[in-house]
Structures are given as structure tokens and as C-alpha cells.
Amino acid sequence: MSKVIVLGSASAVPYEDHENTHLVFMGKEHTILVDCVGSPVTRLRLAGLGINDVTDLILTHFHPDHVSGVPLLLMNMWLVGREKQLDIYGLHHTLTRMEKLMGFYDWGSWPNFFPVIFHRLPSETMTVALDNEEFLIHTAPVKHLIPTIGLRVGFCKEDFVVAYSCDTEPCPDVVSLASRANVLIHEATGNTRGHSSAAQAGEIAHRSEVDTLCLIHYSLNEKGPEDLIAEAQKNFSGQVILAHDLMEIGAK
């Protein structure tokens, strides 16, 4: 059965047992990593995966707390002898900067490097990013500090849909991505520029008519888990859960 594994659930500042937010969508034939931070080998192993299980990488935006682990991921894949192609998806803004970053590491000189293909996605609502026998993934621009995409991931064999807001203020495109999804994974950093509070996430979940709201990209410095859930429940009558590292989400 396909599933989502939350590899990290923290906002920009991580701490013990609470890594920066990134996810993996796992099927039988495809393992799709969404953002990459920290030590990719270690985090994937904790989730029961190897780095060469990853078939695709989606980068939501070029902020360090979402993409800082990419150079290490690529180097580790190369060092363990990867040969199969890795497909990387993102906006032009994101991928151009990632290519420049890898250029500083002079990765073009690394011998026998495996194929890496960059797929530049248009900044348009409901863009089809991936379409295979296991997953249908749409993207849309959301309202963050720099160009950023959110996701709608359809699990083709389970008739199950998960939406992911990524970092964003409340915006119509998240409602479109999440429309009647089974689960909306929505950030809850706080009501600040480029971000959303748990209450605002609850309002988006209500407008999207989702079954379950999962809060992610949050800090526990000022509010506890119960506070965040209660805040979201003020605007959303469905199930509200709080993401935690290595949590699994799938069709029941």
C-alpha cells in the first residue's frame, strides 16, 4: 500500500527528534522525496528506506530548511554507486539555484556520475508534475516569501488524495489543491508574512472540505500540541492531527 512518511515536521529551526519539514511518498515502484534536509541517508534509514530507493525528488522552494540536504543526497547516491536516473522537479527559480549550488561543488567533474534530469514546472494552478501508475501529482504556486509550490498527490491504486500546502499564507491555490482531499497537510508556523497559523490552516481545511487536517512545519516554543490542535478546531470540524517525525499516513 502506498503511503506518506513524514521525515521531518519542524519549522525553520529544528531540534532533537523534530527535523525540518520534508516528506516521502512511497509506492511499490516509486519513492518520491519532497524536499531534502539534514542527513538524508540517516533520515531515510530511520524510515526503512535506502537513498537509492528514491526515484524522484520534488523541491518546493529554495530555502535552506527545505533544500540544504540535496548536495549531500546527490553525493551519497554517487558514492554508493547509484546508476539509475534521478528526476528532480521544481520551479525555474528553485532549480536554477540548485544547479548553481551544485556547480560550486564542481559536480560536473565527479566521475561516473549517474543521470540527473531537472524538470522545470510552470508556475500555474494544477500543473501535472508526475503521472505514473502509482501517483498523479499536481502542483500550484502558493504565497510564500519566494516562488514556492504546494502539491496534490493522488494515490492511483488506493483512490486516496493528500494535499500539501508547503510554506504559505492562506491562498486560493491551496484550496484548489486540497479540494475534497482525504488529508490536507498544512503548515502552522504562525500568522506571519509568508506563513499560516493553525487557525488559518483550519479555515483552509474547512473551505477545502477535506476529511483530515494534519498540521506540520510548526514550532513548540510557544504553543503545545494541544494548543495547536485546539486552534485549528475552532475553524474545522473534521479530524485534526499533529504531524510528528516518522509518522505514516495512508489509506485505511
Q: What is the pLDDT of residues 128-174, one digit of tens each?
A: 999 999 999 999 999 999 999 999 999 999 999 999 999 999 999 99
Compute the chain's Rg from CA coordinates: 17
DSSP 166: -
In CATH, what number is assigned to the domain containing residue 154?
3.60.15.10
C-alpha distance across the termini of the chain, in Å = 10
Alpha carbon distance 205, 185 (integer Å): 9
Residue type, 13: V
The neighbour count for residue 199, using CB atoms within 10 Å, is 18
Per-residue pLDDT tens digits for 5-42: 999 999 999 988 899 999 999 999 999 999 999 999 99
Q: Partners of 10 in the beta sheet? A: 20, 218
Overall average pLDDT of the 51-74 stretch: 98
- Give residue for cell 535552506: 64
Record the pTM: 0.97
Domain count, the chain: 1
Domain that holds residue 60: 3-250
3 state DSSP class of 64: helix
Task: Give the strand pairing for 148-155 and 248-250.
Answer: unpaired
Read off the DSSP letter of residue 197. Answer: -
Question: Residue 252: is its pLDDT beyond 90?
Answer: no
Mean pLDDT for 47-75 is: 97
pLDDT digits (tens, 9 = 90+) for 202-247: 999 999 999 999 999 998 877 788 899 999 999 999 999 999 999 9
